């Protein structure tokens, strides 16, 4: 029997925000999400503010400059 070795990499490579949730796509292919209600600044931001983000720390987190919000990947992972 063979086993597949999976290399976990919890760095964000993409981000999306919809009306209900924040979604991070990780380097290893996983997607993690959290309710937008957990992040009031992001929840109350306009769609254009939500879409203006950048990765920080080589993907350990995400920054939204228009609303001065930073969210770490570990924050979403800790709450799963």
Residue numbers of the domain that contains 34 = 12-78
pLDDT digits (tens, 9 = 90+) for 8-55: 899 999 999 999 999 999 999 999 999 999 999 999 999 999 999 999
DSSP state, residue 27: T
Cβ within 8 Å of residue 40, ≥6 positions away: none
* 5 domain-assigned: no
The CATH number linked to 73 is 3.30.2020.40
Number of structural domains found in the chain: 1
* 33 domain-assigned: yes
Q: What are the contacts of 53-56 at 24+ separation with CB within 8 A? A: 53/15, 55/12, 55/13, 55/15
pTM of the entire structure? Answer: 0.86
Put the strands of the sheet holding 61-64 in their side by side order.
54-56, 61-64, 69-72
């Amino acid at each position: 029997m063979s086993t597949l070795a999976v290399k976990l990499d919890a760095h964000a490579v993409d981000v999306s925000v919809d009306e209900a949730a924040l979604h991070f796509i990780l380097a290893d292919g996983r997607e993690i999400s959290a309710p937008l209600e957990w992040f009031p600044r992001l929840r109350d931001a306009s769609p254009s503010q939500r879409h203006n983000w950048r990765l920080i720390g080589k993907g350990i987190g995400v920054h939204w400059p228009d609303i001065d919000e930073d969210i770490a990947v570990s924050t979403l992972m800790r709450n799963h």
